[in-house]
Amino acid sequence: MIGGLLGSGMALTALFVAFGVLIGILFGFFGMGGSFLVTPALIVMGYPSRVAVGSGLAFVFGTAVIATLKHRDLGQVDYKLGVSMIIGTTLGIEVGKEMVVFLEAMGRAGLVISISYVGLLGGIGLFVTREALKGDGGGSIDHEEADGEVDADDIPDIAKKIQSYHLPPMMTLRGGIQVSLWMVLVVAFATGLLSGLLGVGGGFIRMPALFYLIGVPVPIAVGTDLFEIVFSGGLGSLLYAQLGAVDLSIVVPLLAGSALGARVGSASTSLVNEDDIKIYFGLMLLGGAVAVAIQEAGKGLGIGIAEPLSLLIILASALMVAGAVVVSSVRALREEGEARRAAAAD
């Protein structure tokens, strides 16, 4: 077990703080992503599946509290939608948690969670990388875009189709969008299931789902998602804490690091063009998928080196993207300074 090699003291705490900083930079810059690297990293480090999922959820909860405090004044929360999402997500998390307990009893939890991660990270990683190569700005949430209004004509066709099903009760969302409550509950349940099963906030699935399936404008989707994660993450943490599966020696240093990193990441958004970094983000997700796949293959084939190798890939992937954000920001600041000096010299 890698955790054992590192010891349970300062070295491990420092590793979690550093990993938290990397994740925080990613979260602060992209507005999502990063937290879903925590659970696979903990699994690779040798923590039991339920501790990895429970601690991952508690970390997501803390991160969402901090992000929601920042977004509350921007008026980007649809509370009616948020409360409806909480109901569906709560049911999904409970079912997901029961699935983890059941799979653990069968001795299959690690394998199923790992395969789900490989599929999710690989799929989303391929999507983001493809969009980045196309250069059309899709695949993740743009901070500038998230602060503006989205034209009603931009609502995807599939969302218009879903909005056309008038299955009562209907609810009116901000911006006058009408949608069946059942559709909202189905989307919320599916993302809650993933949260409970994988220990993720689900934002990287829920935000695109709110936009593409329900037609919620991106700024409202971002704010409402964060508001919802506070409750779903809090409930998920509570359920896992009752199982004794929330390890504060993991969560506390991770959160301390990520809160600091998020400040750096969000400050970088005004300096660096997200499209320049997006391809690294996609590659990081693919790196995460490869790492988990290597770890599972190593377990099956009895290859000892697979476990440290997969942890190395996860850390290197996160470091690559966070490093690209920081280096690009420093470079942008220096260029600004040079431009100022040149202007002053003229």
Residue 309 in the binding site for other proteins (CB under 8 A): no
Residue 53 in the binding site for other proteins (CB under 8 A): no
Out of 238, 309, 312, 319, which residue is the one contacting other proteins (CB under 8 A)?
A: 238
Residue 251 in the binding site for other proteins (CB under 8 A): yes
Residue 71 CB, nearest approach to other proteins (Å): 12
Residue 72 CB, nearest approach to other proteins (Å): 11
Residue 168 preceded by cis peptide, ω within 30: no
Residue 333 in the binding site for other proteins (CB under 8 A): yes
Out of 164, 172, 178, 242, which residue is the one contacting other proteins (CB under 8 A)?
A: 242
Number of residues this chain uses to bind other proteins (CB under 8 A): 35
Residue 340 in the binding site for other proteins (CB under 8 A): yes
Out of 99, 170, 241, 309, which residue is the one contacting other proteins (CB under 8 A)?
A: 241
> From the centroid of its chain, how far is CA 23?
9
Residue 263 in the binding site for other proteins (CB under 8 A): yes
Euclidean distance between CA atoms 195 and 229, whole angstroms? 10
Between 61 and 189, whose beta carbon lies closer to other proteins? 61
Euclidean distance between CA atoms 32 and 269, whole angstroms? 13
Contacts (Cβ under 8 Å, ≥6 apart) of 206: 85, 187, 188, 191, 221, 225, 228
Contact yes or no for 234/228 (Cβ under 8 A):
no
b/e map of 195-233 (b: 16 or more CB within 10 Å)? bbbbbbbbbbbbbbbbbbbbbbbbbbbbbbbbbbbbbbb
Listed residue (253, 178, 241) closest to 16, CA to CA: 253
Tokens standing for 227?
A: 């508001």
Tokens standing for 270?
A: 């005004």
Residue 337 in the binding site for other proteins (CB under 8 A): yes
Residue 267 in the binding site for other proteins (CB under 8 A): yes
Out of 18, 186, 256, 312, which residue is the one contacting other proteins (CB under 8 A)?
A: 256
**Options 125-133, 247-255, 296-304, 307-315: segment touching other proteins (CB under 8 A):** 247-255
Query: What is the per-residue binding string for other proteins in 189-228, x denoting contact by CB under 8 A?
Result: ----------------------------------------
Q: What separation in angstroms does the CA of 113 have from each of 1, 48, 50, 211?
A: 19, 12, 10, 26
Residue 62 in the binding site for other proteins (CB under 8 A): yes
Contact yes or no for 266/71 (Cβ under 8 A):
no
Residue 326 CB, nearest approach to other proteins (Å): 11
Residue 259 in the binding site for other proteins (CB under 8 A): yes
Residue 248 in the binding site for other proteins (CB under 8 A): yes
Residue 58 in the binding site for other proteins (CB under 8 A): yes
Euclidean distance between CA atoms 224 and 160, whole angstroms? 20
Residue 69 in the binding site for other proteins (CB under 8 A): yes
Residue 55 CB, nearest approach to other proteins (Å): 9
Listed residue (265, 147, 194) closest to 36, CA to CA: 194
Can you give the binding site for other proteins, defined by CB under 8 A? 51, 58, 61-63, 65-66, 69-70, 234, 237-238, 241-249, 251-252, 255-256, 259-260, 263, 267, 330, 333-334, 336-337, 340
